Chain A
Amino acid sequence: MDTTVTLLAGSSRRLVAELRDALDSCAERQRQLERSLRVSRRLLRAWEPAETLAPEPTPGPETNEEAPSAACIPSPQDLKELELLTQALEKAVRVRKGISNAGEGNKAPSLKSGSIATSPATRASAPPSTSHRAGSRASETKPPRGIRQTRVPTKDLPERRLLSVGDQACMGQGAGATKPKSGLRNEQIVLSAASQAPEAFTLKDKGILLQLPEAFRKAASRNSRPAGCSNHVAFWFVGCACVYPSLWAQLSSTQTSDSVDAATTAKTQFLQKMQTTSGWPGPRLSATEVEAEVRHLQTACLLLRLRMGEELTADPKDWMQEYRCLLTLEELQAIVGQCLHGLRELCTVVEQQLGPWPEGRFPRASLPCGGGADPIWSPQLLLYSSTQELQTLAALRLRVAMLHQQIHLEKVLMAELLPLVCKQEPLGPPWLALCRAVHSLLCEGGQRFLTILREDKPAD
C-alpha cells in the first residue's frame, strides 16, 4: 500500500526539529574529528621541508642530521625531471663503463660516485652511508647557516645538474674545501631523487629524536605541569627553578584563608545591596536559572529511570532482596513525587513572570561538567597502555553519547506519535501503514519493520 502518511503540522515541526538537532550535533562532532584527523595524518606522513625542525640556537645533535636532508627534498616536478636526468645519466654511465672497462682506473672514482649516484640497485645501502657522511659534515656547520644554504631555491637545479655530472668525480671523495655545501646538496638531491627521498623525515623512523624547544618547555611546564610530577626531577631535567606547582594547579586548588573569606563576605554583601537599591524587585528566578533547573530535572529524571531499570531487571534470590527491591522502588516513587512538586512550583513562578516564551532557543548557559559549582580546569592524566584500549574507550564514550540521544529521541517520538495512532480511523489501510511505520520507529529504532498480514474478504 503506497498511501502516504502525513503527520500534523505541530508534531512534524517538533519531530523534524529534534531529529535535525541530533543530526547537527553529530555533524559537529564529525567536523571536530576531521580536523584532528587531518593534523594527525599529516604528522605521520613525511614532513614537508618548509622550515627547520627546531628553531634553536643550540640544538641537540639529532636535529642537525635532519635539517639539511629534510630541506633537500625537491618538489614533485623537480623529482620527475631528475628522474629523467637520472635515466640519462645511467645510460651515460653504461656507455662510459663500456669505454672505461677497456681503459684504466682513473675513471674509477667517477665510476664509483657515478654508480652511487645512479644505480638504483644499491640505493638501499649506498645512500645511508653517504648521507651519514653528509650528515656529519653538516653537523659541523652551524644550523642556521646550513639551513639558509639549503633554502636556496631549487631553481638553481638546472645549472647544477649539468655541473653535477662533471662534479661527480670530486664529490664522491668528500672534497671538503671547494664546494662542500652545494656539492653536498646536489649529491643528496640526486640521491634523494633516485631513491624517492630516503632522507625525508618520518615520525616513524626518527620520532624519538625530536626535542621540544626550551622556551616552549618552560612555558608549558609553568602552565600545567601534570600533578604529581616530582619537582626534583623537574628541576633537574627542565633546568629551571620552578619548584612551585603550575599556574593551573594553583588556580584550581581551593584555598581558604582569611582574605578569601573576607572577600566572599564582601561579595555577598555587595550583591544584597545591589538587590535592595534597585527599584525593581526583579524576577524571582532569572531565565538562566530556570533553564538550569529544567536541565537539572531532566538529568534527575534520567537518573531515576536508570535506577528503576536496575531494580526492575534485578532478580531477587530471597525474600530479603525482594523486600529491599520493593523499598527501593517506593523510595524512588517518593523522590519522583518531590521532583514533580518542585517542578510545579517552578511552573507557577514562571507563569507569573514575563509571559509566554517565544519560539526559538534562548542563549544556553554553559553547563558545568559534574553539575556542581563551576569547576576550574586542572591538569589531569588518563593513562592507557595500548591502541586497542584507547579505541575501546573512545568507542564506549561515543556509544554512551549515542544512547543518551536515542533515549531522548525515543521519548520525543513516543510523545508525538502514539497519540497520532489513537486519533486515526482504525483498521483502514492508511492506519495500518501508520502503525507499521510507528512501530518501526518506536520499537526497533527505525531499523526493522514488521509484516502485517491482512485477510482480505474474497472478492464476490
Chain B
Amino acid sequence: MGRRRRRRRVDPADATRALPEAIAALSQTLPAGPSPETFRRAKFDRPEAAPALWRLLFRVLSPQLADGASASFSPEAQVRSVKLALRTQGYPRRALAQLPDDGSQGGRELLLALAWLLARGPLPERLLTQNRVQLGDEMPVCECEALASPGPPTPSVEADGCVDIRHLQWLMGKLRFRWRNLMASQQEQCALLGKIHSYTRGCHSDRSLGHLSVTETELLRDPEGGRQLLRRLERENARLQAALEWRRRELVFWWWMDTVLGACPPEASQPTFLPRIPTPGTGALEPLVQELQALQGELREAVEARRAAWEAGVGGRGPEWSAARTALREAVGQDLAALRQACERGGSCSLAQPHGPHRLVRTEAGAPGGPGLRAPEVIEALRSQEARLEVVLRQLQGQCRQELARLVGAPPGPVWILPPGR
C-alpha cells in the first residue's frame, strides 16, 4: 500500500534515444529483422517499409523453415501464408486481410500485427528456443509430443475406395516392425554415445560436463564444420544478448505502439466477407465427445457396482463412521486436486514431472555428481508411466473382447478358441 513506486520519468531526449535502441534490440533478436528506420517508416505507412515487414512476419510465423528455405517461397506465397497464419491465431483486425497480395502496401498494419504477436507471448524467446544450437547430446525426459495425439489426419490419396481388412492387418504389422527397428537403432545409438562419452573423459574444459558430446567431437574431427558451428553459436549469442536487451527496453516500444494505433483510421463496423479458414468444426470434436462419453459410462458402471457392494457390505457403520468419512473425502479431494486442475479449462497437464531436453552427461558410478537429473529417477518415473499405460491398453482390449463375445452371441454359434500365451 505504501510502497513507493519508482517511476521512470523519461524526458523527451531520452525517449528519442531509447526507442531506436529498443527497436534495434528487437530487430536483432528476431530473424530477418529490418532496421529501426523501416519501423519508423511503417508507422507512417510508407510503402517501402512493407516488403521487409512481410518477410519478417513470414519468418516469425513459420519458424520451422530453415534459414534458406524461405527464399523458395514467392512474395505472394509469403503474404498469403502470413495472412492465413494470423487469422488462424485470431488476429482481430480486418484490414490486414484486405491488403494486396503483392506485398507492396500495409506497413502500418504489419507493424500492428507484429506488436500483437509480441504482446501475446514471449515471441523472441520462443523463436530462439525452437532454433537453438544444440551443443550436447540431448534426450527429452518426457514424452509430451507423444501425448498430444494429432487431429484428424489428411486422408491418403489411395484410400478412395473400400479397403480390405487384411490391408489394415498388414499396416499394423508394418508398424510393429518399424518400432522394433527403431528400438534396435536406439540401442545402438546409446551404445555408441556411451563409448564416445567414455573415450573423451576429462577433455572438456567445463568440469561439470567432464567429457565431450558428439557435436563437440565432430567439430574436432571436421574443423570446417566446427567453424560453421562456431559462427552459428556466435550468432545465437548475439541474438540472446539482444533478447535480454529488448526485455529491458521494451516499455518505450509499447508507448510508441500506442501512438501508432492511434494514428490508424478507425475501422468500419460492418463485417465484410472474409475467405474461409480451416477451423476445427464439430466434426473434429465428435470423436472426443464420444471418448469422454465412453469414459463416463465406464466410470458410472464401476461406481454403481462398488456402491452396491458397499451398501451390501458390513463396513462403514457406527458413530465414528461420519468423522472417518469426512476425513476420507478430504483426503481424496486433495489427492485428485492436481488432476482436477490439469483437466480444467486452460489448466496445465504437466503433473509436476521434469520436462524438456536434457544434456546427457556420463559420470562414474557412485560419484556424487553435480546438479542435474539422475537417470535412475527418470527410469523409475518412466517405468511407472509404462505400467499405467499398459493397464489402460489392457482395459481397452478387454472391453473389446467382451463386446465381441456379446456380438458373436451365445452358443450354438461357432466355438472360439482364443490364442495361447495369455
Q: Do A and B bind each other?
A: yes
Interface residues on B, range: 35 or more
- Secondary structure of the B side of the interface? helix
**Binary A-proximity of B246-258 (CB < 8 A = 1, otherwise 0):** 0110110011011
Task: Select one of B379, B389, B400 contacting A443, CB under 8 A.
Answer: B400
What's the least CB distance linking A89 to chain B, in Å?
A: 33
Does A403 contact B393, Cβ atoms closer than 8 Å? yes
Does A306 contact B289, Cβ atoms closer than 8 Å? no
Closest chain B residue to A24, Cβ basis = B153
Does A208 contact B144, Cβ atoms closer than 8 Å? no
B residues in contact with A438, CB < 8 Å: 165, 404
Does A384 contact B363, Cβ atoms closer than 8 Å? yes
B residues in contact with A434, CB < 8 Å: 165
Is A312 interfacial (CB-CB < 8 Å)? yes
Is B72 interfacial (CB-CB < 8 Å)? no
Identify which of A278, A353, A366, A376 gathers the most chain B CB atoms within 10 Å of its CB.
A278
Task: Select one of A224, A335, A339 contacting B135, CB under 8 A.
Answer: A224
**Residues 90-130 (chain A) with a chain B CB within 8 angstroms:** none
* Complex Cα spacing A346 to B347, Å: 16
**Residues 199-234 (chain A) with a chain B CB within 8 angstroms:** 203-204, 207-213, 215-217, 219-230, 233-234
**Residues 303-317 (chain A) with a chain B CB within 8 angstroms:** 303-313
What's the least CB distance linking B183 to chain A, in Å?
A: 6
**Binary B-proximity of A15-53 (CB < 8 A = 1, otherwise 0):** 111111111001101100110110111111001001111
What's the least CB distance linking B167 to chain A, in Å?
A: 7
A residues in contact with B399, CB < 8 Å: 414
* Complex Cα spacing A280 to B267, Å: 8
B residues in contact with A403, CB < 8 Å: 386, 389-390, 393
**Residues 190-239 (chain B) with a chain A CB within 8 angstroms:** 190-196, 199-209, 212, 214, 216-224, 226-227, 229-230, 233-234, 236-237
* Complex Cα spacing A150 to B346, Å: 65
Please choose the segment from A136-144, A155-163, A183-191, A291-299 that sits at the chain B interface, where 4 or more of its residues have CB less than 8 A away.
Answer: A291-299
Does A203 contact B196, Cβ atoms closer than 8 Å? yes
Is B102 interfacial (CB-CB < 8 Å)? no
* Complex Cα spacing A178 to B18, Å: 68
* Complex Cα spacing A367 to B143, Å: 12
Interface size counted on chain A using CB atoms at 8 A: 233
Does B119 contact A271, Cβ atoms closer than 8 Å? yes
Is A5 interfacial (CB-CB < 8 Å)? yes
What's the least CB distance linking A391 to chain B, in Å?
A: 4
Closest chain A residue to B63, Cβ basis = A366
Is A290 interfacial (CB-CB < 8 Å)? yes
Is B47 interfacial (CB-CB < 8 Å)? no
Task: Select one of B187, B218, B236, B325 contacting A323, CB under 8 A.
Answer: B325
Is A256 interfacial (CB-CB < 8 Å)? no
Is B365 interfacial (CB-CB < 8 Å)? yes
Task: Select one of B172, B331, B342, B401 contacting A19, CB under 8 A.
Answer: B172
Task: Select one of B140, B153, B181, B295 contacting A30, CB under 8 A.
Answer: B181
Task: Select one of B186, B195, B237 contacting A247, CB under 8 A.
Answer: B237
A residues in contact with B254, CB < 8 Å: 263, 266-267, 270
Task: Select one of B165, B178, B195, B200 contacting A208, CB under 8 A.
Answer: B200
Closest chain A residue to B258, Cβ basis = A270
Please choose the segment from B35-43, B50-58, B122-130 that sits at the chain A interface, where 4 or more of its residues have CB less than 8 A away.
Answer: B122-130
Is A338 interfacial (CB-CB < 8 Å)? yes
Given contacts A207-B199, A357-B281, whether A279 and B271 have CB atoms under 8 Å apart is: yes
**Binary B-proximity of A404-417 (CB < 8 A = 1, otherwise 0):** 11111011101100
Identify which of A27, A40, A339, A393 gathers the most chain B CB atoms within 10 Å of its CB.
A40
Is A87 interfacial (CB-CB < 8 Å)? no
**Residues 408-448 (chain A) with a chain B CB within 8 angstroms:** 408, 410-412, 414-415, 418, 421-422, 426-427, 432, 434-435, 437-448
Task: Select one of B222, B258, B379 contacting A392, CB under 8 A.
Answer: B379
* Complex Cα spacing A72 to B200, Å: 23
A residues in contact with B167, CB < 8 Å: 16
Closest chain B residue to A234, Cβ basis = B206
A residues in contact with B391, CB < 8 Å: 306, 309-310, 313
Please choose the segment from A73-81, A164-172, A449-457 that sits at the chain B interface, where 4 or more of its residues have CB less than 8 A away.
Answer: A449-457
Closest chain B residue to A295, Cβ basis = B148
B residues in contact with A373, CB < 8 Å: 121
A residues in contact with B300, CB < 8 Å: 333
Closest chain A residue to B276, Cβ basis = A354
Does B175 contact A22, Cβ atoms closer than 8 Å? yes
Task: Select one of A4, A53, A374 contacting B164, CB under 8 A.
Answer: A4
Task: Select one of B148, B154, B160, B315 contacting A299, CB under 8 A.
Answer: B148
* Complex Cα spacing A169 to B135, Å: 50
* Complex Cα spacing A448 to B266, Å: 68
Given contacts A279-B269, A347-B289, whether A432 and B240 have CB atoms under 8 Å apart is: no
Task: Select one of A229, A313, A320, A377 contacting B206, CB under 8 A.
Answer: A229
Does B389 contact A4, Cβ atoms closer than 8 Å? no
Closest chain B residue to A357, Cβ basis = B281
What's the least CB distance linking A447 to chain B, in Å?
A: 7
B residues in contact with A288, CB < 8 Å: 88-90
A residues in contact with B174, CB < 8 Å: 23
B residues in contact with A325, CB < 8 Å: 306
Does A40 contact B233, Cβ atoms closer than 8 Å? no
B residues in contact with A318, CB < 8 Å: 315
Does B332 contact A327, Cβ atoms closer than 8 Å? yes
Closest chain B residue to A266, Cβ basis = B254
What's the least CB distance linking A308 to chain B, in Å?
A: 6
Given contacts A15-B168, A51-B222, whether A203 and B191 have CB atoms under 8 Å apart is: no
What's the least CB distance linking A220 to chain B, in Å?
A: 6
Given contacts A43-B218, A362-B88, A397-B143, whether A346 and B164 have CB atoms under 8 Å apart is: no
B residues in contact with A407, CB < 8 Å: 389, 392-393, 396
Does B182 contact A33, Cβ atoms closer than 8 Å? yes
**Binary A-proximity of B341-353 (CB < 8 A = 1, otherwise 0):** 0111111111100
Is B74 interfacial (CB-CB < 8 Å)? no
Closest chain B residue to A275, Cβ basis = B92
What's the least CB distance linking B76 to chain A, in Å?
A: 18
Does A212 contact B186, Cβ atoms closer than 8 Å? no
Does A274 contact B389, Cβ atoms closer than 8 Å? no
What's the least CB distance linking A351 to chain B, in Å?
A: 6
Identify which of B281, B340, B358 gathers the most chain A CB atoms within 10 Å of its CB.
B281
Closest chain A residue to B306, Cβ basis = A326
B residues in contact with A18, CB < 8 Å: 153
Does A51 contact B371, Cβ atoms closer than 8 Å? no
A residues in contact with B258, CB < 8 Å: 266, 269-270, 273
* Complex Cα spacing A13 to B8, Å: 62
Is B32 interfacial (CB-CB < 8 Å)? no
Does B153 contact A20, Cβ atoms closer than 8 Å? yes
Closest chain B residue to A29, Cβ basis = B182
Does B415 contact A453, Cβ atoms closer than 8 Å? yes
Is A133 interfacial (CB-CB < 8 Å)? no
A residues in contact with B355, CB < 8 Å: 369-370, 375
Given contacts A41-B192, A299-B147, A343-B292, whether A410 and B393 have CB atoms under 8 Å apart is: yes
What's the least CB distance linking A78 to chain B, in Å?
A: 22
Is B296 interfacial (CB-CB < 8 Å)? yes
Closest chain B residue to A26, Cβ basis = B178
**Binary A-proximity of B107-140 (CB < 8 A = 1, otherwise 0):** 0000010011011111001101110110100011
B residues in contact with A233, CB < 8 Å: 207
Does B226 contact A213, Cβ atoms closer than 8 Å? yes
Given contacts A217-B205, A323-B310, A371-B349, whether A408 and B172 have CB atoms under 8 Å apart is: no
What's the least CB distance linking B410 to chain A, in Å?
A: 12
Is B5 interfacial (CB-CB < 8 Å)? yes
Task: Select one of B196, B288, B395 contacting A309, CB under 8 A.
Answer: B395
* Complex Cα spacing A103 to B412, Å: 107
10 closest residue pairs by CB, A with B: A286-B90, A319-B315, A381-B372, A387-B194, A279-B267, A207-B199, A357-B281, A12-B163, A266-B254, A446-B172
Given contacts A51-B223, A279-B271, 4 further A-B contacts (CB under 8 A): A287-B90, A297-B288, A369-B144, A389-B376
